[in-house]
Structure 1
Amino acid sequence: MALKSAREKYVVALHKTGKALRDPSVAATDSTLLSTLLLDLFEKLSNASPHDANSYTSHVSGALALVKLRGVDSFRDPFAARMLMRIHTNLLISCIASGTRVPEGLNVLRSHVALVLDIKDIEDPKWQLSSLTADYANLRADAAAGQAPIENLVDRTEALDAQLLALYERMPDEWRFKTTILEAPSNRVYQKRFDVYRDRHTTQTSNVARLIRILLNESLIEYYASIASDQSHINLVEKTHRPIDIIKTLAAEICYSAPQFMDCLAIAKAKLTLRLDAHRENSLNHSPVQGLDCYSLILPFYVSARSPYVAEDLRTWVIDQLHYMADHFGIQNAQLVGQIIERRQDVPPWTLYAMLGSYAFAA
């Protein structure tokens, strides 16, 4: 019922925005641009399927067209530049989820945002990651189109994975995690190790880089197998050894990042807004921020546990954490994802991303 009412209001807003777009003086205002972004947000939350690329990117592409209408140089103050940054992020994510290439205008927008906000790539890992994510979107779109030679896909995939590794190695000290090894096992801690980051922002950025690398290395294994089937002199086992090891390492690192948000009775105790009874887990109150912290783990968890190259104990641990997240934090989408992994349903990661509405919560 609530969704039906929201849909009706969405249609009204759509008509009003369409009317505004027909008036050049109104179309060039911040309010029209923000309205377009809100329509895009609602569309993503209420219709999670990214299969129709045109409908999935229509609003945010329209926002980019409005920017072109006004001229990117008219966005000179920090508030205006942050609107452009949101368009940049939304369009980038939409392209990945829908399997389409990033439009040329995005690079112009990106350069302008960096200039106004004085963003220096070398100092901002998240900004660097967004550039590499655009490369990933284009690579993914080209692979799906089936027109690029497999050797080209291998070269580009290996190069992008190397760039993501280099990004990690260049991260400033404040972005690096601190590792703790427990003496005894814990249900909330994988292999008795947990890593603590500065905040969700750094954790999420690190995990996005990891999940993209997992997907890249899975693609490499497929490409190597395809090439080996045509070229008998290639040792497939030897060729795939490295990407499999990379996947296992990255999946484990994602798991190590979880207890700082999820282990309410120990590691994440400080995040509680109210603790009615410290000895009973179901008596704990959680802030919306802690809920968002946990929600940001769902996609990385899924990509890790979905991989056919990880150990069964990791898959089992992730399933347990997702069910715990649903029961303890009330995040029902975690239950859904846990069941998908349990049933070994091969839902494409970016389809799941859209289903979760993760687009709307991008940091």
Structure 2
Amino acid sequence: MSATDTAKSMAKQYVKRAAAKKIAAVMLKNPYVLAILGVILLLIALMGLLFFFLLNSGADTKPNTDSLIGNGAIPLNADFTGGHANVSSIIRSYEPLIREEARKNGIEGYTELLLAITQNESGPNPSVADIMQASESQGLPPNTISDPYLSIQIGVRVFAERLRAAGGDVPLAIHTYNYGMAFVGFVLQNGGKYTEDLALQYSREHSIGIYSCIGRDPNNYRTQAGACYGDIRYVKKILQLFTPAKSDFGNLAQGNQIFDVNQVHTIMKQFLGMPYQWGGRSPATSFDCSGLMYWSFSQIGIKSLDGNAETQFNNTVAVPDGQQQPGDLVFWETYKPAPSHVGLYVGNDSFLNSNDNGIEYSSVSKWSKAYKFLGYRRIIR
């Protein structure tokens, strides 16, 4: 667009804004118009209250709860494709860009794995623009890249190259992202398949110069292992961010959750004693029952619990009688013939929820005497 065209466009926008201001001024001087606007605003407010209205009542005591035991999460498929990475909402926001770059490099199935790598590289709340820490792979000092999109472009391409160099040995490709391409050659010369022992040996051999363990924190696991080059636990850290997907539910019913129950419980119980708030979905406002579930689980990357209790009921899977376990959600009908109250089951007849008494532990059996019990349901994605 030429400078003239730009000026014309700006002029047109100015005329439109000026006309809009005049129309608004005339309308606001008319008392009938103001009355109509007031009624409209009142109707909108009432509709909002009706939409968020969820009845949560019942006076329960706070029973003691045992400590909860979570399980380490693993990728869904044997080839490390698919699954779901439990990453922060900030890292998750980069998924479209990462997926597109993965598609361009022929590795779209590894999108979730790349999200996990991204969070491990820069943390759940990145303070740097080089979110995939791709600078060093280009022979540059750390954090030289100042554009997240460029970091993703390079980082995804580098992982694709190392995945091909590793011959499909995904753990090797993952650790090579941390150690550098030379690690592939080292593994090929020492049996040809990635092992944790080889990762440890490689790090020890390269823990010299700026990577020496001398003078480092003696309590750090790297220093104690004499392996300060790279991160010897890199692969484990990546895989711990994964959960199985829907097809693994049959195994979950045997006693495994797709997330760390302790982690969610710790997040949720920090709000004990806060008041109940219709439509509340954040610590800033407090919570209603579904809002407490949604916010807490979203902190570990599980986004399938958006919406109200009925939506959460529909986005989970029924647990057979007697197979409930800590971490399952529990539902009741209260004021309407549909799921309208939800809480987190924590074992021993107890569940954590937000009701009229505020955020508290309640008794499953007591609630089931007062309201229609809809059962336990499990999060599968």
* TM-score above 0.5: no
Instruction: Decide which structure has greater strand share.
Output: 2
TM-score by length of 1: 0.26
TM-score by length of 2: 0.26
Instruction: Decide which structure has greater helix share.
Output: 1
Q: Which structure: larger Rg?
A: 2
